[in-house]
Amino acid sequence: MRVAFQLLDCDYILPNGHPVIRIFGKTEDGKSVVCFHEGFLPYFYVLPKVKDKEISEFLKKEFNNLIVNVEEVKKFLPIGYNPEKVKLLKITLSDPSKVPKVKEKLLSSGLVKEAYEADILFRYRFMIDYGLFGSRWYEVEGIPVNTQNVKAKIKLTLKKIKEIEPKESKFRILTFDIEAASEGLPDPENTEIIIISLYFDPPYKKKRKLALVATKKINGDNILSFESEKEMLKEFLNIVDSYDPDIILGYNILRFDFPFLLKRLEKNKLPKTLGRCSTKPAVHKKFGQTERVNVPGRIVVDPYPILQEYNKKGMLRFKRFGLGDVAEQIIGEGKIDIPHSQIKEIWEKGSKEELRKLVDYAIKDSEITYKVFNTLKLIDTYLALSRVSGALLQDVLDGGEASRLEILLIREFDKHGFVVPLKPSDKEVMKRTEERSLKGLKGALVLDPVVGFHKNVIYLDFASMYPNIIIGYNICPTTILTKKYDVETIEAPNKVKFVSKKVREGIFPKILRQLIESRNKVKKKLKKEKNEKVKQALNAEQLALKILANAFYGYTGYLRARLYLLDIANAITASGRFLISKTKTIVETKTNYKVVYGDTDSVMIKADTEDIEKLFKIGEELAELINSELGVVKMKIESVFKTLLILSKKRYAGLSLEKSDTGYKEKIVMKGIETVRRDWCTLTEETLEKILEIILKEEKPEKALLYIRDVIQKLQNNEIPIDKLVIYKSISRPLHLYKGVQPHIELVKKLKKRGVANIPGIGDRVGYVIIQGPQMVSKRAEDPEYVKQNNLKIDSQYYLESQILPPLERVFEALGYKRQDILNLGKQLSLSSIVNNGKAKKVIGFDGFVCSYCNETYETITLSGRCIKCNGPIYFYKGKEKVKEILWSN
DNA sequence: CCGACGCGGGG
DNA sequence: GTGTACGCGTCGG
């Protein structure tokens, strides 16, 4: 028979001492497939120190029936340029799980110098050797198999397999969430699961939502109720089995729901076979601090770590990563409001209505988790990464950048006759760490910024700088010169030499050329494409190609990489530093423009016109000039900043204009200035955003100061809505275990004394505001609702100094103020405005701005920083004391 | 400035 | 499963 499917998972079993590979997939019409392949055996390579015969005899003696074959092969060694292949021994054995043992024994025997590829997972050994990639589409020819061990609609042997055109994925997605009733975080050892909520896409028996509840007390439309946890779990297993999902989805299931569920199954003596195999159970493993869940034949997806990755890469920003917060932000729909501390109470003695609400709460969690996943198309990029790198979807989701790249590297190294080194041992990692602290790994160059306010700034950057450096200098473990050869070489700025491309093109550069080339092709297709779904897929693909290309540099400097080489990592950054500083020199010696800032692969150049067209034109000319002098990497104009406020290295905000098909796209760009931070109240975020907008868009810093004054006045007059002042923190342990005094903890203690119902418990988030009073700040934390009801005064001083000012400080510092100045200014301005009814008096001895020539006074600083009447310099006076000369850049 | 903690998400 | 790995912010020295 013949069947076409998308490759989802691959593993192996050892039925009678012989490994059998299993490929799991999904057809275009939604049928699950498993292919079996027998006869493929594990192998690895060693570099002999003694005669081959001695090694084979040693192996026969030690491992007799395990060794299938020992043969001589010729391969290139992976590190250091060497024109000749080297003779290695390829050792084939019958059991993949025994490979580490054999490798260890050989290494410690002293008979071999080195072992290669002895730690490549068997499934990947197979996939690489058969040219199979994760998530790609294949057509398989084989004979139907009848086995009860795996559950799939189609089961067959693998006779022939060939890659085919990709089609649309047809996944069944099961979202689940468990509830448990306990004080504080539930411990699976002795806390039962009370509810399992489920959300199906596509629907299951015409239902999308379903809750399994371990009590007969309630029932309803979307509810299945059970006598006990055990009965409920049994049904859950049934449903997973008959729904047969490809993807199991849930929020934080990796670190909570899955391990919890597996533990409860164990406690109830139920099978843990949630996967497509009746012999291999689902497993949860913890090593170090990372946790992983494996369900044979299915993909486990947890949006939580994915969103964290998105946040880190700046694709999305979250203040908090709680499901409620995330859902609110993405789909505008949050959780049902039940404090965690109330679940136990409701479960034990709640009314029918309360129980129903708890069940709805559980269902809602699954529902919004799915909706977030679906809205953001969370696996699209990962599917693309899987297709491009060849790694399995699950591994792409679980692993870091390095693991994704490694599969691709092994494939290419193998293809070109190179072997790949083992992963470093702990000892080796330590050695690398030491070497690094000794020699150092210097990062990118950040040019000294001209701090302050600028106008008409051109932003240029090098396209894919590090990948192009690797290509340009032919940087690769296989081209680095570690011994003397009389061949043409290229020297990186850190004096490390690589053989030139004519001698041997490196594998890194070769892969990178292909990745960049494919990306350009995909981007071209994307531009022409009209179909929204196809566009999404193409966009995911170009993103994946970019991610992989950008991962090379990090990989070479990653301590646990197979192909870690400090000299290479340093060669790449040294080249980057060289290029960016050379760029600055070119601009500043060959033109009259000044570079006001630059970081890693970009420069900001101040120009002398307000004309946007012209600015872009100048940018193009500058790029051309730089390119003609540098060669290796191409500089291009990215955007123009109408206005730009540079605070320090890595921190700036600007009003950026980008060219688009329809004209110019204007937007405020912020780097390193987070307006969203978990420890700031909403007022802080809003004020900071507003201030930056006024400065950048209206170019009226004095108005920004007025705005701050306004906020301060409103604070003092109790005119700011309490909700904007709420600060959130969560309780992490029992109250008595807190050593220091913390506001949210003090508040909870207060609430207890007050005898309030629904006291927040461990894990609950507590929102508080700081009110006026004589005690220390922490003791003055108060419940926002209580403040509203009793009309209490908030501590405006606290909010000013601890919430509003710190972020504004940096902004105004760039404009010439120190923290104390702003603070005084804010106070004084408001004071003098009140006293003088908004008009400052023209006498020395008041707080405000005074022209040093004509004594004209200003309540706020002028835009130019100079007197409007006589253009004289303006000074800030505090009382009779001249505090500071005010100067604006530009 | 460094290194050891410890927390996040979940109930 | 031929594996054994987070990343950042805070606190104390």
* Nucleotide whose C1' lies closest to the alpha carbon of residue A253: B10
Report which secondary-structure segment, H or E, holds A122: helix A122-129
- What distance in Å separates the CA atoms of residue A645 and residue A426, rounded to the nearest whole number? 46
* Nucleotide whose C1' lies closest to the alpha carbon of residue A121: C2
- With tokens 């990497």, the residue in question is A633
- What distance in Å separates the CA atoms of residue A618 and residue A669, rounded to the nearest whole number? 21
Q: Is the pLDDT of residue A794 over 90?
A: no
Chain B: bases < 7 Å from a protein Cβ:
6-11
- What distance in Å separates the CA atoms of residue A16 and residue A683, rounded to the nearest whole number? 68
Q: Which residue is nearest to nucleotide C4 (CA to C1')?
A: A287
**Distance in Å, residue A220 CA to nucleotide C1 C1':** 44
> Which whole number is the average pLDDT over A760-782?
78
Q: Is the dihedral of CA A532, A536, A240, A201 positive or negative?
A: negative
Neighbours of A183 (CB within 10 A): 15
Residues 786-805 of A with CB under 7 A from strand B: none
Q: Is the pLDDT of residue A879 over 60?
A: no
One DSSP character per residue, A330-375 reads HHS-------HHHHHHHHHH--HHHHHHHHHHHHHHHHHHHHHHHH
Asked whether A552 and A419 are in contact (CB, 8 A), the reply is no
**Distance in Å, residue A732 CA to nucleotide B7 C1':** 9
* Nucleotide whose C1' lies closest to the alpha carbon of residue A181: B11
Asked whether A47 and A41 are in contact (CB, 8 A), the reply is no
Q: Which 3-state string (H, E, C) describes A571-634?
A: HHHHHHHHHHHHHHHHHHHHCCCEEEEEECCEEEEECCCCCHHHHHHHHHHHHHHHHHHHCCCC
Angstrom distances, CA of residue A769 to CA of A681, A796, A821: 9, 11, 26
* Nucleotide whose C1' lies closest to the alpha carbon of residue A437: B2
* Nucleotide whose C1' lies closest to the alpha carbon of residue A294: C1
**Distance in Å, residue A551 CA to nucleotide C8 C1':** 21
**Across the strands, what pairs with A44?**
A91
Asked whether A665 and A652 are in contact (CB, 8 A), the reply is no
Quote the tokens at residue A407.
Answer: 């599969």
**Is A341 (CB) below 7 Å from strand B?**
yes
Top-ranked range on mean pLDDT: pick from A167-181, A435-449, A761-775:
A167-181
Chain C: bases < 7 Å from a protein Cβ:
1-8, 10, 12
Q: What is the average pLDDT score of chain A?
A: 88
When pLDDT is cut at 50, 70 and 90, the band that residue A873 belongs to is low
A721-738 pLDDT, tens per residue?
888 888 877 676 667 666
Q: Is the pLDDT of residue A361 over 90?
A: yes
**Distance in Å, residue A740 CA to nucleotide C10 C1':** 14
**Distance in Å, residue A704 CA to nucleotide B8 C1':** 36
**Distance in Å, residue A764 CA to nucleotide B6 C1':** 18
Residue A817, pLDDT score? 64
**Is A763 (CB) below 7 Å from strand B?**
yes
Of A435 and A530, which is predicted with more confidence?
A530
**Distance in Å, residue A286 CA to nucleotide B7 C1':** 17
Measure CA A367 to chain center: 24
Residues 471-500 of A with CB under 7 A from strand B: none
**Is A324 (CB) below 7 Å from strand B?**
yes
Q: Is the pLDDT of residue A31 over 70?
A: yes
Nearest by Cα to A225 from A236, A233, A214: A214
* Nucleotide whose C1' lies closest to the alpha carbon of residue A341: B11
- What distance in Å separates the CA atoms of residue A52 and residue A770, rounded to the nearest whole number? 78
- What distance in Å separates the CA atoms of residue A813 and residue A647, rounded to the nearest whole number? 7
Asked whether A264 and A229 are in contact (CB, 8 A), the reply is yes
Residue A820, pLDDT score? 59
Residues 35-64 of A with CB under 7 A from strand C: 42-44
* Nucleotide whose C1' lies closest to the alpha carbon of residue A101: C2
One DSSP character per residue, A522-539 reads HHHHHHH---HHHHHHHH
Residue A771, pLDDT score? 86
**Is A576 (CB) below 7 Å from strand B?**
no
Dihedral pair phi/psi, residue A657, rounded to 5°: -120, 125
**Is A732 (CB) below 7 Å from strand C?**
no
Residue A836, pLDDT score? 33
**Is A517 (CB) below 7 Å from strand C?**
no
- What distance in Å separates the CA atoms of residue A94 and residue A123, rounded to the nearest whole number? 14
**Distance in Å, residue A90 CA to nucleotide C11 C1':** 53
- What distance in Å separates the CA atoms of residue A525 and residue A521, rounded to the nearest whole number? 6
A626-639 pLDDT, tens per residue?
999 998 888 999 99
Residue A835, pLDDT score? 32
Of A195 and A674, which is predicted with more confidence?
A195
- What distance in Å separates the CA atoms of residue A115 and residue A189, rounded to the nearest whole number? 43
- What distance in Å separates the CA atoms of residue A165 and residue A33, rounded to the nearest whole number? 18
Q: Where are the alpha helices (DSSP H) in A273-351?
A: 303-312, 323-331, 340-349
- What distance in Å separates the CA atoms of residue A265 and residue A653, rounded to the nearest whole number? 53
When pLDDT is cut at 50, 70 and 90, the band that residue A816 belongs to is confident
Quote the tokens at residue A521.
Answer: 């092709």
**Distance in Å, residue A505 CA to nucleotide B8 C1':** 45
Residues 228-267 of A with CB under 7 A from strand B: 251-252, 255-256
**Is A187 (CB) below 7 Å from strand C?**
no
Top-ranked range on mean pLDDT: pick from A423-427, A609-613, A883-887:
A609-613
A467-502 pLDDT, tens per residue?
999 999 999 999 999 999 999 999 999 999 999 999
When pLDDT is cut at 50, 70 and 90, the band that residue A865 belongs to is low
Beta strand A857-858 with A848-851: parallel, antiparallel or unpaired?
antiparallel
A555-601 pLDDT, tens per residue?
998 888 999 999 999 999 999 999 999 999 999 999 999 999 999 89
**Is A399 (CB) below 7 Å from strand C?**
yes
* Nucleotide whose C1' lies closest to the alpha carbon of residue A289: C6
Neighbours of A50 (CB within 10 A): 13
Q: Is the pLDDT of residue A890 over 60?
A: no
Of A197 and A312, which is predicted with more confidence?
A197
When pLDDT is cut at 50, 70 and 90, the band that residue A841 belongs to is very low
> Which whole number is the average pLDDT over A184-205?
94
Nearest by Cα to A520 from A548, A547, A545, A550: A545
**Is A122 (CB) below 7 Å from strand C?**
yes
For A779, the 3-state DSSP assignment is: helix
Residue A461, pLDDT score? 93
Q: Where are the alpha helices (DSSP H) in A153-249?
A: 229-243
- What distance in Å separates the CA atoms of residue A814 and residue A889, rounded to the nearest whole number? 10
**Across the strands, what pairs with A75?**
A86
A679-731 pLDDT, tens per residue?
678 888 888 888 889 999 998 877 888 888 888 888 888 888 888 888 877 67
**Is A303 (CB) below 7 Å from strand B?**
no
When pLDDT is cut at 50, 70 and 90, the band that residue A877 belongs to is low
**Is A177 (CB) below 7 Å from strand B?**
yes
- What distance in Å separates the CA atoms of residue A319 and residue A729, rounded to the nearest whole number? 12
Q: Is the pLDDT of residue A844 over 60?
A: no
When pLDDT is cut at 50, 70 and 90, the band that residue A862 belongs to is low
- What distance in Å separates the CA atoms of residue A832 and residue A6, rounded to the nearest whole number? 73
Quote the tokens at residue A686.
Answer: 């809003």
Question: Which residue type does A353 have?
Answer: E
